[in-house]
A and B are shown apart, each in its own frame.
Chain A
Amino acid sequence: MMRKAKEKPPNLAIKLAGISLKNPVMVASGTFGYGEEYAQLVDLNRLGAIVAKTITLKPRLGNDPPRIVETASGVLNSIGLQNVGIDTFINEKLPFFKEYDVPLIVSIAGETTDEYVQLAKTLQGEKITGLELNLSCPNIKYKRKLMFAQNPQATHQVVSRVRKAISLPLMVKLSPNVTDIASIAKMCEEAGADGVSLINTFTGMAIDVENRKPMLRQVTGGLSGPAIKPIALRMVYEVHKAVRIPIIGIGGIMTAGDALEFIIAGAKAVAIGTGNFVDPLIPIKVIDGIREYMVNNKIKDIKSIVGRLKCPKS
């Protein structure tokens, strides 16, 4: 009698910038707070990794409301990096993660290169898995008017200085509000980044025509959600061709199919942002959906499809 050999379950584990992840599905900065808020609804230990809300040296109050407005298949936000600041983060938010077995990536933002370096050094001794430099928040005005991620030299400088200051795995979060995102990603690679996260939100706006007023108090904000997915995907595709460091694909991921598109375009991991607001279980459903896809398509290891887009030869 023939016995069907028991299939080995597909392998979703990956190594990202030296970090071992159970699966390639993370939650994106700013959409998952400091983990506590969602812990009652989601088994945090099942997530590939958590990227915490961006923190700054000093606490920030954030922008005046309204800060959020829904648009066609998207969300505009202008939170303004409201956060408790690094000291309170370390003393009050970090201990929460001790209970969990999930990699924690801490996102930081400064107004100057020195601030990034100071933040990174402060976190070096803490129990965290990695750092993400948020060079791309569209909601705070830097002294130089541009975001770091819109200036190749500034990007190179901040990444290389932080790289020299710390040994933690180092990711850089890029802005889509640039003409050539691949060249910025290359800068990050040259400067010693271990990976790039893309993308942050697109600047956008919405208007209440009855009152001729902007829907957001700050007039403009950052667009996220399914509306930006095709552009995010194209950017991951372009960056994958340009760099060898791993890419975390972000932008409008709601389903396993969305996540797989990013993986095939070249992302080694993905992160869910706005999807958490729609259904806190989306990250878990995406993980389960990727596994099911792998079983159905006889894919043994997720790594084997990263960047394996089959383009017809021209």
Chain B
Amino acid sequence: MVQVDAKILENRELGSQRYKMALSAPQIGCQAKPGQFIHVRVSKGFLPLLRRPFSVHRVQGQKIEILYKVVGKGTEILSRKKGGEYLDILGPLGKGYQLPSATSKISDIILVAGGTGVASLLFLAESISVANPELSILVLVGAKNREELLCEGDFRRLGCRVEVATENGTRGYKGLVSELLEKCLPLSGDRPKPIVFACGPSEMLKMIGKISRKHRFPCQVSLEERLACGVGACLGCVVKTKGSTYTYKRVCKDGPVFDAGELIWE
């Protein structure tokens, strides 16, 4: 974990208020693992006060990328930043996805992305395909409509199979990406169970958690929470997890990636 002033290399609108920002941060890039995040101070002053967390979307040499949607004041300020400006960032933070070991004999990997949740899953797909090129990866990308779909081409270029769901049916399956997952599952037969990795809105993750319980496949979900410190010090970001009764774990430090089976969904 380091704190650096990172130079913005590019901040490009992808349409529908979605942006991709590239930063020069070799000290963070060389350590970052899929599912980890950076904590960004969007303003040099104190408005807004707190940093904003963003998943690492991609690492390429000196460069790291984030993918974000303008949802409030913080991201709105971020969207107006220009190449050449500097951002104070902390990272890489949190515990990322547990990658399937190179030797394990498993069948399919399924990545389920909702909205900008796709950000961390592209990094994951890249890492898996480098570490274990034999594995076949199926990616389910969900969005409200076709304009908001992200990264489809990037996944295909990596050799992943991609299926799409849009809520209004303007592309692919009409409905939620969690429903699409249930349709795609190899439920019967001798095929070993898939491993599922999911990132997106909490409602979506909750449904995927349910599906994973029903069909008994291992499933890791990456949670989004409001953060304050981002480093595990303030205990502001907890989720309820199973213990002898229950315990609280910190999304920023013990997560953001959790085993779906470990979480107590409210």
Contact = CB atoms under 8 A, between A and B. Distances in A.
Interface in B21-74: 41, 46-51
B5 to A, nearest CB: 11
B233 A276 contact: yes
A79 B236 CA distance: 6
B248 interface: yes
Contacts of B3: 41, 280-281
A38 B235 contact: no
A73 B49 contact: yes
A73 B46 contact: yes
B238 A41 contact: no
Nearest to A30: B234
Nearest to B230: A277
B235 A41 contact: no
Contacts of B237: 65, 67-68
B90 A68 contact: no
Contacts of A68: 226-228, 234, 236-237
Interface in A258-294: 274, 276-281
Query: What is the interface residue range for chain A against chain B?
Result: 20 to 34
B39 to A, nearest CB: 9
Given A66-B225, A70-B226, 17 more contacts: A33-B233, A40-B1, A68-B227, A69-B226, A70-B49, A70-B50, A74-B49, A75-B49, A82-B235, A254-B46, A277-B49, A277-B50, A277-B228, A277-B234, A278-B41, A278-B49, A280-B3
Most central of B46, B88, B234, B246 by chain A CB within 10 Å = B234
A172 to B, nearest CB: 23
A75 B233 contact: no
A29 B220 CA distance: 34
Contacts of A38: 231, 233
A276 B90 CA distance: 12
Given A37-B229, A73-B49, A75-B50, A62 B1 contact: no
A77 B50 contact: no
Nearest to A82: B235
Contact of B228 (A61, A73, A75): A75
Interface residues of B, number: 33
B226 A62 contact: no
Contacts of B211: none
10 contacts: A65-B239, A68-B234, A68-B237, A73-B47, A77-B228, A82-B235, A277-B49, A277-B234, A278-B50, A280-B90
B98 to A, nearest CB: 22
B238 A62 contact: yes
A67 B48 contact: no
A220 to B, nearest CB: 15
A278 B226 contact: no
B252 to A, nearest CB: 10
Interface string A219-236: 000000110000000000
B229 A276 contact: yes
A70 B48 contact: yes
Given A66-B226, A68-B237, A279-B41, A37 B232 contact: yes
Q: 4 shortest A-B CB distances, which residue pairs?
A: A68-B236, A33-B233, A37-B233, A277-B229
A77 B234 contact: yes
Given A41-B90, A281-B3, A67 B236 contact: yes
Contacts of B50: 70, 75, 277-278
Contacts of A82: 235, 238, 248
Contacts of A74: 49
